[in-house]
Amino acid sequence: MTAGVSTAQQNTADSTGPLTHHELIRFYRLMYLSRKTDDREILLKRQQKIFFQISCAGHEALLVAAGMAMRPGYDWFFPYYRDRALALALGQTVTDQLLQAVGADDPGSGGRQMPSHWTSKPLHLVSPSSATATQLLHAVGCAEAGRYFAQRPQAATGSYGEGDYRRFKDVSFQPDEVVYTSLGEGSTSQGEFWEALNTASNSKLPVIFVVEDNGYAISTPVETNTPGGNISRLVANFPNFFFAEVDGTDALASYAVMQQAVAWCRAGNGPALVHGHVIRPYSHALSDDERWYRHASELEADALRDPIARMGVLLLQQGVLTEAELDAMHRDIKQEVRDAADTALAAPLPRVEDIERHVYSEDLQPTTAVFRTEPQPRDKAEHTIADSINQTLREEMRRDERIVIFGEDVADASRDEHLRSGAVKGKGGVFKITSGLQLEFGSDRVFNSPLAEANITGRAVGMAVRGLKPVVEIQFFDYIWPAMHQMRNELSNIRWRSNGNHTAPLVMRVPIGGYLTGGSIYHSQSGESIFTHTPGVRVVMPSNAQDAAGLLRTAIRCDDPVLFLEHKRLYRESYGRAPYPGPEYAIPFGKATIARPGGDLTLVTYGAVGPRALQAAQRLARETGVEAEVIDLRSLSPYDFEAVAASVRKTSRVIVAHEDMRSWGFGAELAARIADELFHDLDAPVRRVGARDTFVAYQPILEDAILPQPDDLFQAMADLAAF
């Protein structure tokens, strides 16, 4: 089908529908439990016993409907902060919710997350961030992973050795699993909403998007976010979707559309979008007072639609409960919430000593000797970095069926019938690094993404949470910025914020750097220090073919997210060519190499400055007799301070040189640390060489002046030697 199906506008229901009396009572109970938990949190916040409150009030009917229509621990859930009632319906306890509110050592985050960040590993509630709409792409990636495992069940099983991330992922999947994700109507303005609909639609993925439309995004009304004021009208042309717009304060109507949406997705028809009109009786959060920007008449109209009051009346009218039974239930629930609050307030607090736990994997550290193997070249033929990366990807994909590769133009050809017939040769990336991989491994393992970097990164996070190993490509470092939000706020900290419950070990390969003669502003950028300044992500940058193979293998096999920076200028240079070191060759992260030994001064560098520094060091030795030791860090986070310190203790003089701008660059941190920790070993100030504090210009004479050249490095070393 090419157009989505839509249910009747504004579904309503006034009978008790398909639910039994028992289910109706459970439905109401969950709604009331959610509201009373919010009320208790508000009280606790006023008593300064918790530190933040944001409520589910007014959204309960839609969310209990979703929870009751889906299966915890079977389906997957990527909720947002309003979804308390969903979490309760799935089986999360009030105690767990209040443990998070008081900042106790709660099972979902260990005191790291604000309240309302619903997390439970057994229930498949995946730890959300506070950013609006990022979770939608994770849901898409999760659904892709579920489908992948269903089609390749053997990829999910297998026994693996000590140095293998796969030991830590329980890859369970269900052939008809469905993925839930939700957001407010304001958040549909985020690009990631549209990027998620794009892939869910194109790939007919079983994802239910629930738009909880309470008419406001903090103080901004719906028409400011959504042209025409109705998101259902805007999305209606996405193919393959089931669409439903419903009064989300009507419990039975909500349940009916949720059931239809789930059935649509389970049957493999494609995704669904349920747009529920709800109310927001408690302002945006406790720090907000909506009377500042909403008229009293609006609030009164909303109050008439309160979902709990509506369902209470329905239960009485239909004879499901008597008033006395309803009162008794209310009393029970209030007591349950009071007891849970007492338990939460008395619970142990997280330990300060544990702050740094779960920044990185504790199970498999890429810095350890597990990843140290000797090169075993099959022959002496020398290969470029480009060939070495392609070969490593190929061999790792042969070994591990969980690896998938995607990104812009990385496939040989999306229309693969022409590829298979040999009529077209295939692209395989703008730098041809992934050339031939789709042909060998198939279009479900190597495929093109839409032109959207957040889409690539967010989907990869969702896949990695489920146990796939995405090795994605960002086409140019210059265009990594749309992915930055996903990298900084999701990829880097999902392990930490969930206290180790959810992890996303994946690899992002990124061509970086200049010296291209004409690369200009948007094809020459560096900027590695922005990522080394982000905890939770490993950053490596090889400068020769052997290191590229060894570091990439460690990146793929380890249990942490890795940013793998590939210098474009070095891809096919004769410098750095090496025999291919074999299919098991790995290098631990955080180990530098001495590219040139010397006793008079130390130059620490990495990337494309490496060969320029060697050239300068040879000239220095020739012309002045000064022998510089050149250290290639290879790995930037973690980096090998021990190697730097050992060299500085020997030479007493050090320069840190890199291609990126000097100010605020990677060298600033390294120089500061050397000055701090090696002060007594130094005979001269710590010097830095880096690019000018501009962007890189197109005209070659400008590019040469902006980026550090061998002459600059020579001069800096000569000056330092003479100090």
Ligand X SMILES: Cc1ncc(C[n+]2csc(CCOP(=O)(O)OP(=O)(O)O)c2C)c(N)n1
Let me know: does 591 contact 368? Beta carbons within 8 Å. no
Q: Which residue lies nearer to ligand X by CB, 282 or 564?
A: 282
Q: How many residues lie near ligand X (CB under 6 A)?
A: 15
Q: Which residue lies nearer to ligand X by CB, 35 or 284?
A: 284
The 412-431 site mask, x for binding ligand X (CB under 6 A), equals: --------------------
The residues, ordered by sequence, that sit 6+ positions from 477 with a Cβ below 8 Å of its Cβ are 510, 511, 512, 513, 525, 526, 527, 565
Q: Shortest approach of ligand X to residue 82 CB, angstroms?
A: 5
Bridge-based pairing state of the strands 507-512 and 538-540: unpaired
Q: Which residue lies nearer to ligand X by CB, 279 or 507?
A: 279
Report residue 412 as tokens.
């040989």
Position 187 contacts ligand X (CB under 6 A):
yes
Position 186 contacts ligand X (CB under 6 A):
yes
Question: DSSP 3-state assignment of 492?
Answer: coil
Which runs of E-coded beta strand occur in 64-107?
Answer: 76-78
* Residues between 202 and 221 with contacts to ligand X, criterion CB under 6 A: 212, 214, 216-218
Q: Which residue lies nearer to ligand X by CB, 169 or 284?
A: 284
Q: Shortest approach of ligand X to residue 62 CB, angstroms?
A: 11
Q: Which residue lies nearer to ligand X by CB, 216 or 242?
A: 216
* Residues between 95 and 134 with contacts to ligand X, criterion CB under 6 A: 130-132
Position 368 contacts ligand X (CB under 6 A):
no
Q: Shortest approach of ligand X to residue 675 CB, angstroms?
A: 38
Q: Shortest approach of ligand X to residue 189 CB, angstroms?
A: 8
Q: Which residue has 């880096």 as its token pair?
A: 690
**φ, ψ for residue 699, nearest 5 deg:** -60, 125
Report residue 227 as tokens.
């042209």
Q: Which residue lies nearer to ligand X by CB, 82 or 383?
A: 82
- Cross-strand partners of 447: 406
Bridge-based pairing state of the strands 220-221 and 216-217: antiparallel
Q: Shortest approach of ligand X to residue 578 CB, angstroms?
A: 44
The interface region with ligand X, picked from 89-97, 180-188, 230-238, 693-701 by CB under 6 A, is: 180-188
Q: How far apart are CA 111 and CA 483, in angstroms?
A: 28
**Pick from 74, 83, 179: nearest CA to 123:** 74
Q: Shortest approach of ligand X to residue 80 CB, angstroms?
A: 7
The 71-100 site mask, x for binding ligand X (CB under 6 A), equals: -----------x------------------
Q: Which residue lies nearer to ligand X by CB, 132 or 709?
A: 132
For residue 575, the tally of other CB atoms under 10 A from its CB is: 17
Q: Shortest approach of ligand X to residue 66 CB, angstroms?
A: 15
Q: Shortest approach of ligand X to residue 282 CB, angstroms?
A: 11
Q: Which residue lies nearer to ligand X by CB, 221 or 436?
A: 221
Element holding 689 (H helix, E strand)? strand 687-691
Q: How many helices (H) and strands (E) does the chain have?
A: 25, 22
Let me know: does 465 contact 126? Beta carbons within 8 Å. yes
Q: Which residue lies nearer to ligand X by CB, 484 or 621?
A: 484
Task: Give the angle subtended at the CA of 485 by the CAs of 479 and 490, to the nearest 5°.
Answer: 130
Q: Which residue lies nearer to ligand X by CB, 186 or 462?
A: 186
The residues, ordered by sequence, that sit 6+ positions from 363 with a Cβ below 8 Å of its Cβ are 167, 168, 559
For residue 389, the tally of other CB atoms under 10 A from its CB is: 24
* Residues between 277 and 296 with contacts to ligand X, criterion CB under 6 A: 284
Q: Which residue lies nearer to ligand X by CB, 497 or 658?
A: 497
Q: Which residue lies nearer to ligand X by CB, 212 or 401?
A: 212
Q: How far apart are CA 189 and CA 203, in angstroms?
A: 22
Using CA of residue 392, residue 394, residue 395, residue 400, what is the dihedral sign? positive
Report residue 125 as tokens.
């509630």
- Residue showing the smallest CB distance to ligand X in the complex: 184
Let me know: does 235 contact 194? Beta carbons within 8 Å. no
Q: Shortest approach of ligand X to residue 716 CB, angstroms?
A: 42
| Options 485, 523, 567, 658, the catalytic residue | 523
Q: Shortest approach of ligand X to residue 134 CB, angstroms?
A: 7
Q: How far apart are CA 345 and CA 49, in angstroms?
A: 8
Question: DSSP 3-state assignment of 40?
Answer: helix
**Pick from 144, 151, 162, 193: nearest CA to 470:** 144
Q: Three-class SS string for 588-616?
A: CCCCCEEEECCCCEEEEECCCHHHHHHHH
Q: Which residue has 């303005």 as its token pair?
A: 189
Q: Shortest approach of ligand X to residue 222 CB, angstroms?
A: 8
Report residue 352 as tokens.
């300060």
Q: How far apart are CA 138 and CA 451, in angstroms?
A: 17
Q: How far apart are CA 67 and CA 64, in angstroms?
A: 5
Query: What count of Cα atoms within 13 Å lies in the side-chain half-sphere of residue 673?
Result: 13
Q: Does the annotation mark 523 as catalytic?
A: yes
Report residue 355 as tokens.
């702050």
Let me know: does 51 contact 103? Beta carbons within 8 Å. yes
**Pick from 631, 697, 619: nearest CA to 658:** 631
Using CA of residue 658, residue 527, residue 455, residue 366, what is the dihedral sign? positive
Q: Shortest approach of ligand X to residue 159 CB, angstroms?
A: 41
Distance of CA 141 to the CA centre of its chain: 10
Position 53 contacts ligand X (CB under 6 A):
no
Active site residues: 523
Which residues contact ligand X by CB under 6 A? 82, 130-132, 183-187, 212, 214, 216-218, 284
